[in-house]
Chain A
């Protein structure tokens, strides 16, 4: 179906427009993300309340607190260090690349801890009742979204280090274009930190 044709010439993209797109897009994505995890919150309370056949949480289904605490600390630290990096980036200060690198390392640590949590759990998915289902489902879903956050941090770091010119923004310092992305990423990380807090409180603290 041949349709549109014509001279393919484009005006340079307005950095302010790109920033607005990213800001709005990030917030919408966070809304969608929140609803994914709200489904797990709902599942937690629903299955706990229903307690089918008394099998919501058999006695042996206790997660390892050390993993839970370590994961939560790393999640919060990733978000906090990233915020420091973002402030350095916005203020044109030094050290933001180092901060991004630390944030990335912490982010990867979260992924490793989540995988270890699942592999070393003292209960399996099939004999742990409703609780085990929520535990396995939620932790794995959290890991998937967190991998997205880690990818985002990595791209910012790589772009900041290489500083290659941007074809669609001739003459613009590529680092300036990182600011809206960093702002978006920090909001996403903040959201994931809240989700991480929920994970810890619901799955590790509530009996």
Chain B
């Protein structure tokens, strides 16, 4: 790299690096966040007291919300998020990089390196993922008895609500945050995301959202499940405030992640990376991002209304005062159903990305797969009222939403067939990532087929609110997305961290997870058909044996996740072995880089020379020319993002 065209990061940021403990970091963030909560709570109580004199509003809710708001400000202040906006107010020029020069401390503060943010996401999201999993274990422990035994009914509902909300929130961030942030810039041949500070902000908002949600336990819990239905939400105790606030943080984070991903792909593609050469994983991220940008703001608005109902006594969702709970249902599910595909589409992207590598043949029907993803994304906005089949939807509208819901199975089926077509006559290598991909197909098929029954009005009316629905979405989300996520972990994590994962433990994890996942959730389809309701800790004693079996399987499923945790700790912290640069013989651009990937990704911006899936094709050109100098001096980006 020519000296004339390069600048050190310190020179760019123009700042001296302070001692880490005195600089912005997560310790300050936690301290200021806690202090901020109490300050906000105090101020909110004063305001609430003033309102109380006028309107009989619940001053605790105002205090809790004010506490959360000031805590958020304090938390972000401690991490360094206000330094840049304040400098801009003072007229200092715009910069892009921050916190990249802080050694290991960059993992504990605002850092604009996309690879650091991705690993921060990985650790943060998986911490909350395990917390959500622990809740599931408690739920299944309770269900080993046909009557409430371990927890009171209200506490059980809080457990169920925490589990559902935590998993939905964190799984939204798992693929986009951890893998999207790490892979997308590299896969498009860029050195960073379009908006690096926004990227870091989304991470810390996600972490904060997880903490705020957990605080619901100390505020009396919340009884609504992840759907937060009104008017129950208006009547619930302070834990509901934690639900509303944390989900709003996730909504903001999700919309900003989506915005950042789309902007990065649209504007920062390397020369030669035309739209029909973009890796299918990136397409999965783009379609997810479109949903996130358009659906999450509606969730945010709905939560804002819910917060107003609970603090200043508006009546958006209270029919006795001129509102309507169906307003919540509509707004929530306008987000909620696309949210299902926000979870599923990255899973499709991961599996389709990995299949060619482990079948050694090109991805079958690349363009159709991309079209299928966009088809799913588009249709996902047209189906939300099927969640209201039994709760107030005009009966004349039911056939339309039944039809659109069934219609969405076509692009989903196409994507499924693309995967099967890629497997057909491939030279399949049964590596651990591939095993997870194959399990994805098995699980998702069951999830998809059970979904057809739920799209159909008569059968949905029968099974609504039962364990059949619960088993269905666990087959699609856990059997689909989480299995794909596991494939991604075993495939990409060694590249991301620079250290191998233990293969034996990985296989134990796979077989344990696959077997006990199915032994847990398949019987629950039957439990639902037999009338066992969701979210209730008591059930008909005739289902006791079935539930004991399911709980036993669930505990073993939980144990299999512990194997993953042990593997991560053992191979990434205790006994590290350097990972090879390209252990899977992948043609994808990230595997052409050294391990660990340099801070600046590429010495020169590469020129993309062919599609990434030419496995088994004789005389296929390399995917990229890393020695080429596209553009002069450095800012090597195609004039209109990709056309070289």
Contact = CB atoms under 8 A, between A and B. Distances in A.
Interface core residue of A39, A127, A132, A161 (most chain B CB under 10 Å): A39
Interface string A132-155: 111011001100000000010011
Interface string B82-122: 00010011111111110011001001000001011001000
B599 interface: yes
Contact of B195 (A1, A25, A38, A129): A25
Contacts of A46: 324, 326-327, 330
B220 interface: no
A129 B302 CA distance: 17
Nearest to B261: A28
Contacts of A164: 91-93
Given A1-B123, A24-B266, A136-B308, A6 B599 contact: yes
Nearest to A135: B314
A1 B95 contact: no
Contacts of B249: none
Nearest to A155: B88
Interface of A (DSSP majority class): helix
Contact of B297 (A10, A32, A161): A32
Contacts of B327: 42-43, 46-47, 50
Nearest to B311: A125
Contacts of A170: 7
Contact of B634 (A11, A31, A128, A167): A11
B592 interface: no
A46 B293 CA distance: 23
A73 interface: no
Nearest to B318: A52
A40 B322 contact: no
Interface size class on chain A is: 35 or more
A55 B322 contact: yes
Nearest to B268: A17
Contacts of A140: 308
B314 A3 contact: no
A165 interface: yes
Given A11-B5, A137-B316, A17 B93 contact: no
B96 to A, nearest CB: 6
B46 to A, nearest CB: 17
Interface string B221-241: 000000000000000000000
Given A32-B259, A39-B297, A125 B312 contact: yes
A177 B326 CA distance: 48
Interface string A6-37: 11111111101110110011001101110111
A42 B328 CA distance: 11
Interface core residue of B8, B263, B294, B322 (most chain A CB under 10 Å): B322
Given A1-B107, A167-B95, A177-B94, A10 B321 contact: no
Interface core residue of B91, B119, B262, B298 (most chain A CB under 10 Å): B91
B282 to A, nearest CB: 16
A2 B259 CA distance: 29
B596 to A, nearest CB: 5
Nearest to A170: B7
A56 B56 CA distance: 21
Contacts of A37: 301
B5 A136 contact: no
B195 A21 contact: yes
A166 B294 contact: no
Given A8-B101, A39-B298, A168-B96, A24 B263 contact: yes
Contacts of A42: 327, 330-331
Interface stretch (B9-17, B412-420, B514-522, B606-614): B9-17
Interface of B: 1, 5-9, 11-14, 54-57, 85, 88-97, 100-101, 104, 107, 113, 115-116, 119, 123, 191, 194-195, 255, 258-260, 262-263, 266-268, 293-298, 300-302, 304-305, 308-309, 312-316, 319-324, 326-327, 330-331, 496-498, 572-573, 596-600, 633-635, 637, 639, 641
Among all A-B residue pairs, the 5 with the closest Cβ atoms:
A11-B634, A14-B635, A55-B322, A129-B322, A158-B91
Given A24-B267, A52-B321, 15 more contacts: A1-B107, A1-B123, A1-B572, A3-B116, A5-B598, A12-B633, A17-B635, A21-B195, A24-B194, A37-B301, A42-B327, A50-B324, A166-B94, A174-B93, A181-B94
